[in-house]
Structure 1
Amino acid sequence: MDQFNLYLSQLQEAYNTNFKSTKFDTCLSIIDNLKDLTANYNLSNPNVDKESLLKIRSFLEIASLIFLQSNDTENFKCMYSQLQPFYFDLTHILPKSDNMNTILSMWMLHLLSDNKIGDLYMLLEKIPKDLKQDDKIAFVINLERLMMEGNLHQLLELDTQDETSSPSHMATRASTDRCGSEYYKIIASTARNKIASSIELCYRHLSLDYVSNLLKLKNRNETLDFISYYNQYKLQNDAESVPWKVVDNYVMFQNEVGAKHKIPSRELLSNSLEYLNDLEKII
């Protein structure tokens, strides 16, 4: 066994058996060694043998999954950029990878959570029609569509359909959800901001408990933390924004123009609440 195969075998073993423990540093060390060895291959050379391409792809995929599960977005982005040629340019040489659908769906979630909708559409143009039927990829496609419609109540139905799938699919889906949990949180946070924006357009003030309920926050402290965060968020986007204030267990929005937006804001609030509720169940 050559050095690359030895390290690849060690990485696979570490990922399968030790990743949940404190051995992540072991994975990182092996990944660094494999990066150095990968640099010795000239992947732009059309004469690179199939076996070398397969083992490099395997390394990049395992590393991607490790970085996903450790919420290391920057390194995941780096690994995915190197995987793109394997997924879209070398399909006439290499067989389809078992990990491709999972990694592609996670990259799509990354683009969606980062609001890079244009990049997501460009990626969808590259993905073959049959691949879009895969449960994980179809899930993100539906999520994007429902987000763009401003109505995500169907998301719960999509998740319920997964529960009726085969045991093997459920195991794969559980792993995928674990990888994508941070992206779901980002999307949910974006939804919460939109709901907050709708609330302050609809009302002059609301009870603190009711605001907690609308924003799906667990208790008073979480709500106060969100108000502090949201005031800063608004200030960054608009220096003249009016901060929320808590007075006698009421949240004062102090918005003088709410009536002008009353109907569309309430519709957006209703749709957004359904969206956040469904996302909370997934997370």
Structure 2
Amino acid sequence: MAPQQIVALYNDLQRAFNTQPANLQLCGTLLSKLKIGLIETGLLLPHGDARLEDLVMARDILEIGAFWSIRTKDVPSFDRYFSQLQSFYVDYSSVLPPSKREYPIRGLNLIRLLTQNRIADFHTTLESLPLPADAIGDNPYLRHPVNLERWLMEGSYSKVWNAREEAPTEEYKFFVDSLMGTIRNEIASCEEAAYDSLPLKDAATLLFFTTQSELLRFAEARGWKINLAESSISFSRTSEEKIEIPKEKLIAASLAYARELEQIV
């Protein structure tokens, strides 16, 4: 693919992405073509002396691809775009001008690690950021995932829920929603163990649902029994198998063992 063709497709991608709302279907088509072009011109994983304007264009394409992945809820695609961006963020950091999208994308990657319960990777990635530790709290895109991780460790789930409205970009809300899904399942497991039933209103409050329809869909997926007449939910319990302990055999074995010890002594 000729460089002029890549530039033309890049301009089309910018227009499709920046329209309100963005044309995500067209963006996906253009991104597929542009990645082929970047591979053919050696710009997907650059090495050597590439032109500065070409590097900036390639980085911008991959950044748009990362945001497009989140907007289309394609996390594996986001992983690939983030991995490809590392050459630009690390190897060419002293050559390229700063990108306004870099830290929003880095912050999204940190939240992605939280949703996958990769806490060790979260801290390793946080420590490897090209920022002093005391500057992380001043960056809203990094402060948000750091706060989320602390609240998760504390069990402050209401703060995680409220953090959705404090997200620095719309894309962050996708991962916060994913976190809330994990949290709801943990709370639901505790409810099943602690209660035989709960009023619908109390169950909705505990699970951070704002409408009854959301709660009912969740309850049906968990196999809970819903009683709309009594406005309550009953938790189905699996019957535990009774384990018979062979008392006589254990006593006989213990006595035989004791006699053997006496003989040894």
1:76 Cα offset (Å):
1.9
Mapped to 2, the partners of 1:53 and 1:226 lie a distance apart of 47
Q: Which runs of 5+ in 2 are unaligned?
A: 239-265
Name the structure 1 match of 2:234: 252
TM norm structure 1: 0.70
Letter in 1 for 2:139: D
Report the number of matched residues: 229
Query: Which residue of structure 2 aligns with residue 119 of structure 1?
Result: 121
CA distance in 2, matches of 1:128, 1:188: 30
Q: Deviations over 1:15-72 (max 9, x none)?
A: 112x626x33322222122111100233353333333222110111112222222223
SS in 2 for 1:206: strand
Give the distance between the partners of 1:183 and 1:110, measured in 2 at CA.
7
Maintained 8 Å contact 2:152/2:160: no
Query: Which structure exhibits the higher relative contact order, with contacts defined as CA atoms closer than 8 Å and separated by 6 or more residues?
Result: 1
Change (3 A) 1:49 1:102: same
Using the TM superposition, give the Cα deviation of residue 157 of structure 1 relative to its aligned residue in structure 2, in angstroms.
8.4
Residue 180 in structure 1 maps to residue 172 in structure 2: yes
Cα–Cα, structure 1 residues 53 and 183, in superposed 2: closer, same or farther, change >3 Å?
Answer: same
For residues 155-201 of structure 1, give each alpha carbon's deviation from its aligned partner in whole angstroms, at most 9, with x where no partner exists.
Answer: 588789x6xxxxxxx9xx3xx1x112221111111111122222233
Measured against aligned partners, the alpha-carbon deviations of 1:206-229 in whole angstroms (never above 9, x if no partner) come to: 223322332233454433321222
Contact 1:57–1:83 (CA under 8 A) maintained in structure 2: yes
Contact 1:11 1:31 in 2 (8 A): yes
The one-letter code sitting in structure 2 at the alignment partner of 1:187 is: L
Q: Secondary structure at the match of 1:71?
A: coil
Judge conservation of contact 2:107–2:141 (CA < 8 Å) in 1: yes
Task: Report the Cα distance in structure 2 between the residues aligned to 1:157 and 1:209, rounded to whole angstroms.
Answer: 19
Question: Which secondary structure state, in structure 1, belongs to the residue aligned with residue 21 of structure 2?
Answer: coil
Change in Cα spacing, 1:158 to 1:190, as seen in structure 2 (3 Å) is: closer
Q: Deviations over 1:81-100 (max 9, x none)?
A: 11112112221222221110
User: Is the Cα contact below 8 Å between 2:10 and 2:34 reproduced in 1?
Assistant: yes
Root-mean-square deviation (CA), in Å? 2.8
In the other structure, the counterpart of 1:270 is none
Q: How does the TM-score come out when normalised to structure 2? A: 0.75
**Which of 136, 145, 148 does residue 143 from structure 1 map onto?**
148
Structure 2 match to 1:166? none
Distance 1:245 1:25, change over 3 A: closer
Q: Secondary structure at the match of 2:59?
A: helix
Give yes or no for the alignment of 1:216 onto 2:208.
yes
Distance 1:44 1:66 in 2: 22
Secondary structure in 2 aligned to 1:39?
helix
Identical-residue share of aligned pairs (%) = 28
Which position in structure 1 is the counterpart of 2:62?
A: 60
